[in-house]
Amino acid sequence: MGELSVQGDRLVLRLSRFEKIAGLHGDVAIPVDQIRDVDVVADAFANTRGLRAPGLAVRRRLRIGTWRGGGVRTFVVAHAGAPAVRVRTGGRAAGAEFDELIVTHPDAVEVAGRIRGILDAGRPGMSEREVTFRSGDGTVLAGTLTVPAGAEAGPVAVILTGSGEMNRDGDHAKLPIGISRALAEALARNGTASLRYDKRGVPPSGGDYLSTGMTDNLADAAAAVEWVRTTGGFVRDAVAVIGHSEGACLAAALGADREVDPAAVVLIACPAATGREVLLWQTAKGVDALPAPVRAVLHLLRIDVKAKQRKTIDRLYRTSGDTARVGLRRVNARWFREFLDFDPKPLLQKNRAPVLAITGAKDLQVDPDDLTAIADLVPEEVDTVRVPDLTHLVRRDTAPPSLRAYRRLVREPVDPKVLSLVADWTAGHLRRV
């Protein structure tokens, strides 16, 4: 049976010869700084998702190897009828080979507690806890509050994720991006607390994702800021808002709201154009990034991708319900209508807080040239940074930009220089309490 132990700065899963052969893998070593949590599960099989690839499975008796499902890679050494230690990592976004380890052990509770104690001793001065708060319409949202020692009253940042069904860590079920989690960790290292949360309709948060508009997301973001100032106990004038993609749009809107009045605003991949203009720009960049043979075939077949996208956008804009069909897929039409009309320019002009705006030179979803417009629009202090080779996923890529590279890029950690820049700038613009 696999044995878990902490050796120096690594957690090591040592496998028997049989387990190595069955799982087609050697011993697994995970740097301590990639580990997010250690807990115990009563049923290892029930907590292993997807299909083995590769590995050995004996029905209702044994699982050894790699299981993949829901965007999660789990290495399993599981025997039926025994509890298991589960180790959760930062995933590929943090450079980890696996998102989870699940290892059965007759003394799983004792083993998990011993490992957790060793890990906590190596990470002094920081705590994380699960929290919930209510938005204006009563919807309950769940999140994680990360507090480094000495920052119990501030400074603090509210982290806002990008578009889609994103959880508190900035992960989509099919694409574990991990930007929000990486930001929280970078902020904590600089002495700044943070709150990040699961969006509406993403369990355990309440609400229905397919009926959630951009205005709802904005209300939720404002409620998060209010929570850190009241229930969270943080000082009012030491709160920043940090957003990526759609979250950056929401951060820009909060910066223009006199009632929210954040002390600092960080915009990562924020547009300075309407949502309609952004979607059309994305389509044009996506087509331009296609391989030449593919573009030639489209031309030969007289398929105008840009025209098709414009028709789809117009059809969605004419809808009136919460959802609509695009092909075989049901989409959130309400959110699309609100995003198409969203214009950040007047919001940026009303912003009175210091602003840091970062966009990658290889972003295919937000025009990096919009940084110039942001610099012109924000009336007070504004710093804009165009990062060479940086993509929309906040990873660098020396290859030509391509949406097809996303699955490869999320296996790499979020760019450490961008994380350091955000953490340093935020800490420098928030009052120490």
* Predicted local distance difference test score (pLDDT) of residue 291: 66
* Residue 197 located in a structural domain: yes
Q: Which of 121, 151, 166 is the last residue of a domain?
A: 121
* Residue 402 located in a structural domain: yes
Instruction: List CB contacts of 240: < 8 A, sequence separation 6 or more.
Output: 155, 156, 157, 158, 192, 262, 263, 264, 265, 266, 426, 429, 430
Indicate which CATH number applies to the domain containing 373: 3.40.50.1820
Mean pLDDT calculated for residue range 234-246: 95
Residue 146 is part of which domain span?
Answer: 126-273+343-428
Residue 420 host element (H or E): helix 416-428
Mean pLDDT calculated for residue range 140-144: 95
- Does the pTM of the predicted model rise above 0.85? no
Looking at the structure, tell me whether residues 204 and 328 fall in a common domain. Answer: no
89 or 350: which leads in pLDDT: 350
Mean pLDDT calculated for residue range 361-379: 96
Distance in angstroms (rounded) separating the CA atoms of residues 372 and 392: 18
Does the pLDDT value for residue 37 go beyond 80? no
Token pair of 273 as six digits? 């154009």
Does the pLDDT value for residue 360 go beyond 90? yes
Among 88-92, 158-162, 257-261, the least confident range: 88-92
Looking at the structure, tell me whether residues 352 and 223 fall in a common domain. Answer: yes
Does the pLDDT value for residue 123 go beyond 70? no
* Helix-strand-coil split of the chain, %, nearest 5: 35, 30, 40
Among 2-6, 145-149, 220-224, 271-275, the least confident range: 2-6
* Predicted local distance difference test score (pLDDT) of residue 373: 97
189 or 117: which leads in pLDDT: 189
Does the pLDDT value for residue 95 go beyond 80? no
The mean of the pLDDT values for the chain is: 89
46 or 292: which leads in pLDDT: 46
Looking at the structure, tell me whether residues 389 and 307 fall in a common domain. Answer: no
* Predicted local distance difference test score (pLDDT) of residue 290: 67
Looking at the structure, tell me whether residues 168 and 261 fall in a common domain. Answer: yes
Report pLDDT digits (tens) over 298-344.
566 666 667 777 888 888 889 989 988 887 788 999 999 999 999 99
